Amino acid sequence: MKNPEWKSSEVYIGDVPLGGNNPIRIQSMTDTDSMDTAATVKQCIRIIKAGADYVRITAQNKNVAKNLALICSELRNRGYSTPIIADVHFSPGIAGIAAGNVDKVRINPGNFADKQMKNPPSSISEEEYNQGKEKIKQRLLPLLNVCLNNGTAIRIGVNHGSLSNRIMIRYGDTPEGMVESAMEFLRICKKEVFINLVVSLKSSNTREMVKANRLLVKTMQQEKMNYPLHLGVTEAGDGEDGRIRSAVGIGTLLNEGIGDTIRVSLTEDPEKEIPAAINIAENFSTRKHPVSVQKRLFFSLIHKMSGTLFNNVKNIGGNSVPVVIFSHPVNNDIVENMPDYFFVEKETEIETHSLDIKLIVPYALWLKHQNNRNNLFPLLTTNEFLTSCLKDQNLNFVKIEPATNPERIISAAKGKNFIFILELQPLQEPSVFYEFLNYYHKHNSRNPLIIKKTYNEKDHETFIIKMSGDLGLLFLENVCNGIWLINEKNITQEQTLSASFGLLQASRVRISRTEFISCPSCGRTLFDLQKTTARVKKATGHLKGLKIAVMGCIVNGPGEMADADYGYVGAGKGKITLYKKKEVVRKNIPSEDAVYELVGLIKENGDWKNP
């Protein structure tokens, strides 16, 4: 949790300020050819009409950097004053040209001054390391002058997958490396009194993204900086997975008061990112929902509890992955991920389940049927827990409500086979359990904890975004051993179940499906990324546990694949390069053959399973 005394500075991007007391600003990025002025202007307008505060456009060469002036002029002529941002990699010269034509320039510290080496050394001397920092200064100062003369802002945009060799040698691809990569640039800007700055640390790994941004805020506080933060989870993917992953990372930080502008990076049309981003900002911005004392204490407590070694009770707690509980009878349509436990309330439902299915039932039902079948476990109210003598010898679930007095419950359960179900109603947040968890933590209780949350949402997107931002922190910090989701409105049973597994996967605590890392596309992409991603998913979506990257960026794609097992990266018009980890294994494959070749590569390495 950041220091409550820390507050970001206000920075103007064109005429639209961010940071300070301003609302969380929303942005997206075009995926058109940036030299196609008409197409880019049309897409900018669609993004603006969807609700964006800023629009970013890739500038991969000098011609594009110059053409940004024409794009901006055309937008202004049509009555749109939304600030335009140039996205630049590798070339300070291109950034300088773009800075004269747009309202903000994003540069990547990982490739702004340091060239990527094919075979980097394993160590670097202090002199060589400092030479790299001096090189940054030499290349950055001219850009600062252009930006000062034009009133142009700069975003120092670090990506986890494209840190410089110099940073990687010293820090590895760690949150510390990401922070130092940004701080090298921020220190130069501070010394030069360039204050029109925004900073971002992005990763496709939600854990690394959250850790890095928390550490950045702490480091800036120590060095008396307060530049506004741009938040995003890179290569989040599409559909449900993309929205859950984004909400876990962005929502967790916004909840803690960290973040001033956000982008939800989806492999979909750019304007579709905006409603999801607005939804996240509306639900988790502390500027709309000020952090209460209880909530601040709760966040601090969760950070202290991080990494708690819970007791192992049957398959819950200990080193086991978090379990999923589902409040509906077995549905034959559930084929991808079966819940670990089903909760049933009716006697007739007990009889319809096969004996190998683990059932949770109200205590009264358990008393009646305990001798009739195995895998039947009681859910007790706190009163039943404290007053009843008969319990299951292996596993018992105890329902905990926010008003529960923790002293007697925790004392009676300590060291035994009891699981605490923390039950939240639609308008309640996890922080209402502060008193219970504080007592739990102080008295070294190790009984496993499961969060049960009931929602009342009418649409799927709002449901998955709310539950991801509400509950993601608990799993990112490893302080929860299971999830039990309910939605009482229009969401289907299958969607609720899918969201449960999706949250655990996005929090990186339980892998239950293929993980796809796919970028949102930009003007550098030379193939239809959405259609290609769909084809790759169709061919490999059954390979549980594999991470497959589909990257359209022919310049930066390989670095952004992060920890993917296999990569499918654009290499030129109609050509694809395939990667195993970060090693190139096949080059210049015709795009029409590339999915077939990817499947072949997976088979060659022994990772293929028949559907």
Shared domain check, 279 and 318? no
In single-letter form, the type of residue at position 256 comes to: E
Residue 6 is assigned to a structural domain of this protein: no
Looking at the fold, whether 96 and 234 belong to one and the same domain comes out as yes
Q: Which of 291, 313, 339 is the last residue of a domain?
A: 291
pLDDT at 492: 85
Quick check: 571 and 524 in contact, CB under 8 A? no
Using CB atoms within 10 Å of the CB of residue 461, give its burial: 0 to 12 exposed, 13 to 18 middle, 19+ buried. Answer: middle
* Residue 103 · residue 68 · CB < 8 Å: no
Q: 3-state SS of the chain: helix, strand, coil percent to 5? A: 40, 20, 40
What b/e sequence results for 102-139 when a residue is b if at least 16 CB atoms lie within 10 Å of its CB, and e otherwise? bbbbbbbbbbbbbeeeeeeeeebeeeeeeebeeebbeb
Q: Are residues 532 and 595 in the same domain?
A: yes
Is the pLDDT confidence value at 581 over 60?
yes
Based on the fold, state whether residues 534 and 465 are members of the same structural domain: no
* Domain membership flag for residue 203: yes
Among 21-35, 92-106, 199-213, 402-416, where is mean pLDDT lowest?
402-416
For residues 327 and 422, membership in a common domain is answered with yes
Question: For the segment 295-326, what is each residue's pLDDT rounded down to a tens digit?
Answer: 888 988 898 888 888 999 999 999 999 999 99
Q: Does any domain span residue 500?
A: yes
131 and 260 co-located in one domain: yes
pLDDT for 119 beyond 90:
no
Q: Are strands 230-231 and 11-13 parallel, antiparallel or unpaired?
A: unpaired
Given a contact cutoff of 8 angstroms between Cβ atoms, the answer to whether 320 and 341 are in contact is: no
Residue 411 exposed, middle or buried by CB count within 10 Å (0-12, 13-18, 19+): exposed
Asked whether residue 202 is assigned to any structural domain, the reply reads: yes
Strands (E), 263-352: 312-313, 316-317, 323-326, 341-343
Tokens of 246: 């984004």
Pick from 475, 508, 513: nearest CA to 338: 513
Same domain, residue pair 117 and 192: yes
Closest CA to 120 of 108, 132, 109, 112: 132
Please count the structural domains in the chain.
Answer: 3
Tell me the per-residue pLDDT of 409-468, one tens digit each, with 9 for 90 and over.
Answer: 999 998 889 999 999 999 888 999 999 999 999 999 999 999 999 999 999 999 999 999
What does the H/E/C string look like for 572-607? ECCEEEEEECCEEEEEEEEHHHHHHHHHHHHHHCCC
Task: Report the run of H or E that residue 158 belongs to, with start and end.
Answer: strand 153-159
Strands 575-580 and 566-572: antiparallel
For residue 575, the model assigns a pLDDT of: 84
Residue type, 43: Q
Residue-range definition of the domain harbouring residue 534 = 515-604
Strands (E), 511-558: 515-518, 547-551
Structure confidence at residue 167 as a pLDDT band (50, 70, 90): very high
Confidence (pLDDT) at 524: 63
Same domain, 233 and 315: no
| pLDDT tens string 343-354 | 998 888 887 777
